[in-house]
Amino acid sequence: MTVTELLPLIGIPIVVAGFAFKFNPLLVVTVAGLATGLSVGMDLGTLLETFGEKFVNSRSLATFLLILPVIGLLESYGLKERAQDWIASLANATSARILMLYFVLRQGLGALGLTYIGGQAQTVRPLLAPMVEGAAVAKYGELPLPIRDKIRAHAAACDNIAVFFGEDIFIAFGAVLLMDAFLKENGITNIEPLHLGLWAIPTAIAALIIHMARLTRLDASIRRDVEAWKKSEGAEVTA
């Protein structure tokens, strides 16, 4: 393979280096896109036109222009605090149980193609993470930042894993259609998107079982962390 053939891949090391040095992600991706386009012979005007077209046609545009400002407005009026207070009033609510319920709902909706109902910006940050934190605070009292960060990480992971393995079941999902097109281009014509979706079900079930098993240990893990923290602070665990 010649250097000329490798030039279109220049965007990959740019992205890796940009993220490694913690540059602005939007800037890194933009530079990588520009470098890739110029390396394959696109003129600057065509490249900028392509950027604009893809941006305008992107379904995520609605997320940035509509959903995020609404979430920000709700947060400014105490959305997180109300979510935490509501969870604290439920006696049987625990961090693990909340995440288990969310995982099942998120994966089920993802399998139906409703991937934009949840998400990190729309649901995890303003609602799910505060609710999971609220359950832990109601049980153990005020928590230090490291434990809160651990709970938030579990909430984010729960969303990512659930939608990642759930959306592949939906036959009109972009990745499924991409795989179908790739197979047909390479002469494999006896596989339809429905088949790909059906074969994704065992993997989704396995992800569900594995993550449920992982979450069953979360409450005990939080308790151990709280005990260790309060022991170092000379306090007693209240629950």
Portion of the chain with pLDDT greater than 90, in percent: 28
> What is the pLDDT at residue 148?
93
> What is the pLDDT at residue 213?
94
What is the C-alpha separation between 219 and 228, in angstroms, rounded?
A: 14
User: Tell me: the pLDDT tens digits for 179-210?
Assistant: 788 888 888 888 888 888 888 999 999 999 99
> What is the pLDDT at residue 113?
86
Whether the pLDDT of residue 21 is over 90: the answer is: no
> What is the pLDDT at residue 4?
64
What is the C-alpha separation between 10 and 3, in angstroms, rounded?
A: 11
Highest mean pLDDT among 40-49, 87-96, 181-190: 181-190
The whole-model pTM stands at: 0.66
Whats the size of the chain, residue-wise?
Answer: 239
What is the C-alpha separation between 187 and 23, in angstroms, rounded?
A: 42
- Give 63's pLDDT tier (boundaries 50, 70, 90): low
Q: Mean pLDDT in the chain? A: 81
CA angle 136/104/71 to nearest 5° reads 65
> What is the pLDDT at residue 9?
80
Backbone angles phi, psi at 217, to 5 degrees: -95, -5
Highest mean pLDDT among 78-82, 160-164, 235-239: 160-164
The larger pLDDT score, comparing residue 188 to residue 67, is at 188
Written in H, E and C, the secondary structure of the chain is CCHHHHHHHHHHHHHHHHHHCCCCHHHHHHHHHHHHHHHCCCCHHHHHHHHHHHHHHCCCHHHHHHHHHHHHHHHHCCHHHHHHHHHHCCCCCCHHHHHHHHHHHHHHHHHCCCCCCCCHHHHHHHHHHHHHHHHHHHHHCCCCHHHHHHHHHHHHHHHHHHHHHHHHHCCCCHHHHHHHHHHHHCCCCCCCHHHHHHHHHHHHHHHHHHHHHHHCCHHHHHHHHHHHHHHHHCCCCCC
Highest mean pLDDT among 51-60, 173-182, 197-206: 197-206
Contacts of residue 7, Cβ cutoff 8 Å, sequence gap at least 6: 39, 40
